[in-house]
Structure 1
Amino acid sequence: MRWTVPNILTVARLIAVPLLPIVFLFFARPWADYYAIAVFMLASLTDWVDGYLARRLGQESLFGAAMDPIADKALVLMALLVITAYSGLAVWIVLPAGIIIFREIFVSGLRETLGDKSRLLKVTNLAKWKTTVQMVALTLLFAKGVFEHYVGMQSFGMDQEMFDAVISGATEDELGLRWKLTGMNWTGNAGVILLWGAALLTAITGVEYFRKALPFLKEPEEKKDD
């Protein structure tokens, strides 16, 4: 392997994968959320940058071709596991996450079975959009965690009547609860909607990949005796 800029960025993305759960082990919220968002966003950006630089600089390599999709999948799957864990296994997160994880395992198994033939099955534009939608959805859900933390901390000790009065504007909002609650709801709802959209795209591309792989999975016909 040559240590070109695109390959260095791919390796950096691989290193970022275990950092996502590690920040929640060593830092308290909301700092863990901030670090997770920073790590995930920077790692997601390298996905576009390394491919662009590889083509622009003529530095495409077998290492990059092999490791780039692995880094993408590992980053998305680790982010899904972290978000699923701190969402309290919310069903609207678990179901699309399960669809995405199943598809990635299924397609990875197909690629392993096909071996060298898997190179004949090119990545489609829809698959690239799928990855983009996944990363945007997960970024929003990480951001929702930040707002959720502040809403929970700053409304601690309030009864429901006082909380409703602050949110409705009947009582002065000294802590900025209204905009934080709005941010939590907006990022949470948008993130979940996009995650379901990503799950749909993931399922479609999985079926498409399986359809293209079927001809290579047929058993060879036995030779007939003359």
Structure 2
Amino acid sequence: MSSLPNLLTLSRILAVPLLVLLLWQPGWLGFLTAFLLFCIAGATDYLDGYLARARGTVSKLGIFLDPVADKIMVAATIVMLVHTGIVHDWAVIPALIILLREITVSGLREYLAGLQVSLPVSALAKWKTAAQMIALGALILAGAAALKAPWFPVMQIGLVCLWIAAGLTVITGYDYLRVGLKHMA
């Protein structure tokens, strides 16, 4: 529990309530602070796994908590971006696709764990996560930019990345489901 990688993962989970609070009724500073917090949390996502592998301290707790931390952070951020109105209209569709895939894959992993079958993260799923993080970070920053730099196209960048992330989400979700269904027959 007290290894540095596990502490980094836990810090990401503990950052989520602060992120939600910052986005609850944000002004320019709230959006900017939320963006910085989201970026730091995203960096810990990479760093915790790297350190665990480099130090040989990969733990069962870390293997469990890391994807949970990712899903909590992504889901909370999407909900708050919808709450603030940054994600609205057609942009809700890729947001829902991402949320539904995360829930489905989590359930699939839980089911397969009961069969003692692991479902390793694919390389494409890592790209999906990167696209999600870029999209969500850009959309958080778009809230600040809309108030202080409306000419900066960060909203468009965020929305394009959100659709890309949703496309990768569908592909990786299908891949995981296809592998999982083989164990359900």
Common fold: TM-score over 0.5: yes
**Do 2:31 and 2:140's aligned partners in 1 also have CA atoms closer than 8 Å?**
yes
Partner of 1:182: 151
Q: Which amino acid aligns with 2:150?
A: L
Give the C-alpha shift of residue 119 in structure 1. 4.4
1:60 is paired with a residue whose SS is coil
What corresponds to 1:8 in structure 2? Answer: 7
Change (3 A) 1:33 1:85: same
Query: Which of the numbers 159, 171, 180 marks the counterpart of 1:213?
Result: 180
Largest Rg, 1 or 2: 1
Question: Which residue matches 2:159?
Answer: 192
Residues 100-179 of structure 1 aligned to structure 2 (within 5 Å): 100-117=98-115, 119-150=117-148
Residue of structure 2 in register with 1:57 after alignment: 55
> Structure 1, residues 12-62: CA drift from partner, whole Å, max 9, x if none?
00101122111234x751121122111111000000011111111111111
Aligned mates of 1:20, 1:213 — CA distance in 2: 33
Q: Is the 8 A contact 2:109 2:118 kept in 1?
A: no
* CA–CA distance in structure 2, aligned partners of residues 115 and 147 of structure 1: 44
**1:109: Cα distance to partner?**
1.6
Following superposition, the deviation at residue 91 of structure 1 comes to 1.7
Q: Tell me, in whole angstroms, the C-alpha distance in 2 between the residues paired with 1:148 and 1:118.
A: 49
**Paired position in structure 1 for 2:68:** 70
Structure 2 residue 68 is the aligned partner of structure 1 residue 99: no
Q: 2:86, 2:144 → 1: CA distance?
A: 15
In the superposition, relative to structure 1, how do residues 87 and 59 fare at CA in structure 2: closer, same or farther (>3 Å)?
A: same
Cα RMSD (Å): 1.5
Matched length: 185
For 1:202, the equivalent position in structure 2 comes to 169
- Cα distance in 2, alignment partners of residues 38 and 119 from structure 1: 37
- Structure 2 length normalisation: TM-score? 0.94
For residues 89 and 191 of structure 1, do their structure 2 counterparts lie closer, same or farther at Cα, with a shift above 3 Å needed?
A: closer
Give the fraction of aligned pairs with identical amino acids, expressed as a percent.
40
Which runs of structure 1 show a deviation greater than 3 angstroms over 4 or more consecutive aligned residues?
116-119
How far, CA to CA, are the matches of 2:78 and 2:86 in structure 1?
13
Change (3 A) 1:79 1:24: closer
Letter in 2 for 1:92: W
Structure 1 contact 111–118 (Cα < 8 Å) conserved: no
